[in-house]
Amino acid sequence: MKSIWTGAIGFGLVNIPIKLYSATQESTLDLDMLDKHDLSHIKFQRINESTGKTVQWKDIVKGYLYKDNYVILTDKDFEKASPEKTKLINITSFIQEEEVESIYYETPYYLEPQKGGDKAYVLLREALEKSGKAGLGSFVLRNKEHLCLIKPYEQVLILNKIRFQEEIRDVKEITLPKSKLKSDEIKMALSLIDQLTDKFDISRYKDSYSSELLKHIKAKSSGKQIKTTPMKVTHRKSTDLLSQLKASLKKAS
């Protein structure tokens, strides 16, 4: 794996030099974009809107429009904005992980200790394990500040980026239903939940869509047709929830 960030974890007066690695990978099929006429690969170009000419990566700079003029920023400018946060994940407090709603979670990363940081790394990992808490901090990655949670996971420290509150849209933008429920409907729904309750085991779940799509691709390449029944979303009022719940319970059993 290739590290995407190097720096340190600030834990009180202790600094732990680390490298950051992506903890996830895509499970989707690698599809190419082609011209349907001759199946040539589609390539994307960076075009100067004034000249219409292609611009090379080395000639592209980042700018911020300020008072009708662009201020050009270099990598050094981004570092100067906050030298500490570009190189330090500063743990400011320790919290219970369940206090953070799932909507705030973004991306997980592995943290690997670097030279001189082994003992302090193990200390933080073991302390978090025994306390049952997660370290809350912040750092800058790819020119953007992120909040993060650090916790142990299978002998490694894992960092989860979490969103700021200002990045979450207000639920008031959503039109919510105002339906009234009968007590029997609630009881039946709770019974269905109880009947379908199981211990979570992530290994039981696979990306079945990608495997089914690959089957379709292989069949199509050999000229075969896979018969499927198209699904349609129906928009109708549920006039009898109770009977539907009873049927669901019968099917689940």
Least confident of 103-112, 179-188, 189-198, 212-221: 212-221
Q: Say if residues 208 and 214 touch (Cβ distance below 8 Å).
A: no
Instruction: Compute the 3-state secondary structure of the chain and give helix, strand, coil in percent, each to the nearest 5.
Output: 30, 30, 40
Token pair recorded at residue 61? 């700079």
pLDDT > 70 in the chain, percent: 97
Q: Say if residues 35 and 42 touch (Cβ distance below 8 Å).
A: yes
Least confident of 20-24, 114-118, 195-199, 205-209: 205-209
Query: Residue 54: is its pLDDT beyond 90?
Result: yes
Confidence of residue 165 (pLDDT cuts 50, 70, 90): very high
Query: Residue 83: is its pLDDT beyond 70?
Result: no
**What are the start-end ranges of the H helices in 137-239?**
183-196, 208-221
Start-to-end CA span in the chain (Å): 46
Please tell me whether residue 127 adopts helix, strand or coil conformation.
Answer: helix
Tokens 């306390």 belong to residue: 131
- Map out the domains of the chain with their CATH numbers: 5-24+60-167 (2.40.290.10)
Averaged pLDDT score across all residues of the chain: 89
For the entire predicted model, the pTM comes to 0.77
| CA 114 to chain CA mean position, Å | 26
